[in-house]
């Protein structure tokens, strides 16, 4: 019999400290109105000085483990999507394994696809399960974007926030993860990037640089294409999708994708107002919110989609089973 993967539990975590648009407007030349109108963002959460990406991942993972009703020892693979790892190495996934006290020596690694990271990590975990190489995977998107934000650059600092989201993905006879579609195009590296890097020079700027309006236009067009591709490849109509669970970057990008799907905004999970763009953490944060408040129910068909630095983009089609 074919092996499939199902999400059996979700969890998320946002650091305690909230920075509102009003607070930001006291530091740079911007206004709450401008930020809300152009992005839909009202506030972001910021990790404490001593709080790292693996700490956020740990808190979200514990909640997902509890929701799935498993023991941490049952996990046989950990995949963490992050652009803001605690260290150059070990990977954040290895640090997380240690924090969870997992002694079964399961493999653990990070995936780097910036804002598309969660979809990439979910696709990776799904393929491990389908291949019979794992049966219970912890998939996490976790970021401390505040650490690579230039808080004096109003053109993009207004966008970023910290947070983490996690899911437990388990082997099953019936398909939960129906399909994933991933893409990348390295030609656009200069539109959205961080200059510093281990091999390029850690002394270079470690702040996100973005040509916002160009990224915006390409994001909308590319997400349109991934919606078409996902529906066609899986022989679905727009109306078959119950919930759009998009990457939370900008409400105007989310609205454009919803329009493409002919969906009213009450079928779209929106959390960008509360936590801003948390990169790889944003989809599992939104998913966990809508699962816990009862919006997402067994039998629903979810379309997750993301676009980010690289450029990378992708989608995951998930039948909700729990
Ligand atoms: O998640 C990964 C992928 N990233 C994204 O998807 C982000 C995509 N980009 C965006 O979300 C938007 O481009 C931004 C929110 C970053 C910027 O919004 P925009 O509507 O594209 O604004 P813009 O950069 O074209 O700037 C429009 C105007 C400019 O003024 P002038 O030249 O028209 O006088 C900017 O100087 O708004 C000005 N501006 C601001 N004003 C107040 C730019 N940033 C700010 C600001 N506050 N924070």
pLDDT band at 173 (very low <50, low <70, confident <90, very high): very high
Beta strand 77-81 pairing with 136-144: parallel
Q: Under a CB-based contact definition with an 8 Å cutoff, are residues 287 and 269 in contact?
A: yes
Give the model's pLDDT for residue 321. Answer: 93
Q: What is the pLDDT of residues 3-57, one digit of tens each?
A: 999 999 999 999 999 999 999 999 999 999 999 999 999 999 999 999 999 999 9
Coil/strand/helix, residue 47: coil
Q: Under a CB-based contact definition with an 8 Å cutoff, are residues 209 and 193 in contact?
A: yes
Average pLDDT estimate for 263-283: 98
Is residue 184 over pLDDT 90?
A: yes
Mean pLDDT across the chain: 98
Pocket of ligand 1 (CB under 6 A): 30, 34, 38-39, 115, 154-156, 158-159, 212-213, 215-216, 219, 249-250, 253, 277, 307-308
Coil/strand/helix, residue 64: helix
pLDDT band at 209 (very low <50, low <70, confident <90, very high): very high
Any idea which residue has 């530091």 for tokens?
27
Q: Does the structural domain 178-319 have CATH classification 3.40.47.10? A: yes
Q: What is the pLDDT of residues 63-73, one digit of tens each?
A: 999 999 999 99
Average pLDDT estimate for 110-117: 98
Q: What is the pLDDT of residues 292-305, one digit of tens each?
A: 999 999 999 999 99
DSSP codes joined into one string, 235-281: T--GGG--EEEE--S-HHHHHHHHHHTT--GGGB---HHHH-B-GGG
Task: Give the residue whose CA is nearest to atom 29 of ligand 1.
Answer: 155
Find the 100 Cα to ligand 1 centroid distance in Å: 40
For domain 4-174, give the fold: Peroxisomal Thiolase; Chain A, domain 1 (3.40.47)
pLDDT band at 121 (very low <50, low <70, confident <90, very high): very high
Q: Under a CB-based contact definition with an 8 Å cutoff, are residues 79 and 124 in contact?
A: yes
Give the model's pLDDT for residue 1. Answer: 85
| CA-based nearest residue to 142, from 12, 46, 258, 268 | 12
Find the 303 Cα to ligand 1 centroid distance in Å: 27
Find the 156 Cα to ligand 1 centroid distance in Å: 7
Average pLDDT estimate for 222-239: 98
Positions of CATH 3.40.47.10 in the chain: 4-174, 178-319
Give the model's pLDDT for residue 136. Answer: 98
Active site residues: 115, 247, 277
Task: Give the residue whose CA is nearest to atom 42 of ligand 1.
Answer: 30
- State CA 252 to chain mean position distance: 18
Strands (E), the chain: 4-13, 17-20, 43-46, 77-81, 108-111, 136-144, 162-172, 177-184, 192-194, 208-210, 243-246, 301-308, 312-319
Report the predicted TM-score, pTM, of the whole model to 2 decimal places. Answer: 0.98
């Amino acid at each position: 019999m074919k092996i499939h993967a199902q999400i059996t539990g979700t969890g998320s975590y946002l650091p305690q400290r909230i920075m509102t648009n009003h607070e930001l407007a006291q530091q740079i030349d911007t206004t709450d109105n401008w930020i809300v109108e152009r992005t839909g963002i009202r506030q972001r959460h910021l990790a404490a000085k001593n709080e790292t990406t693996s700490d956020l991942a740990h808190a979200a993972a514990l909640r997902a483990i509890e929701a799935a009703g498993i023991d941490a020892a049952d996990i046989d693979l950990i995949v963490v999507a992050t652009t803001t790892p605690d260290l150059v190495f070990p990977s954040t996934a290895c640090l997380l394994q240690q924090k969870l006290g997992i002694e079964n020596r399961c493999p653990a690694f990070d995936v780097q696809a910036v804002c598309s990271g969660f979809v990439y990590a979910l696709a990776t975990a799904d393929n491990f399960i389908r291949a019979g190489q794992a049966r219970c995977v912890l998939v996490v998107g976790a970021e401390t974007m505040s650490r690579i934000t230039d808080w004096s650059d109003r053109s993009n600092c207004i966008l970023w926030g910290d947070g983490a989201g996690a899911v437990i993905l388990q082997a099953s006879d019936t398909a939960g993860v129906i399909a994933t579609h991933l893409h990348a195009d390295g030609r656009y590296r200069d539109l959205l990037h961080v200059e510093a890097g281990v091999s390029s020079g850690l002394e270079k700027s470690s702040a996100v640089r973005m040509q916002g309006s160009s990224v915006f236009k390409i994001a909308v067009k590319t997400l349109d294409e991934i919606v078409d591709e996902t529906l066609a490849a899986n022989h679905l109509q727009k109306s078959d999708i119950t919930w759009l669970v998009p990457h939370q970057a900008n409400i105007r990008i989310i609205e454009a994708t919803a329009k493409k799907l002919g969906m009213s905004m009450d079928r779209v999970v929106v959390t960008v107002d509360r936590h801003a763009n948390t990169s790889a953490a944003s989809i599992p944060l939104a998913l966990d919110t809508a699962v816990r408040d009862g919006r997402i129910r067994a039998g629903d068909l979810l379309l997750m989609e993301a676009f980010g630095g690289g450029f990378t983009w992708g989608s995951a089609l998930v039948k909700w089973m729990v």
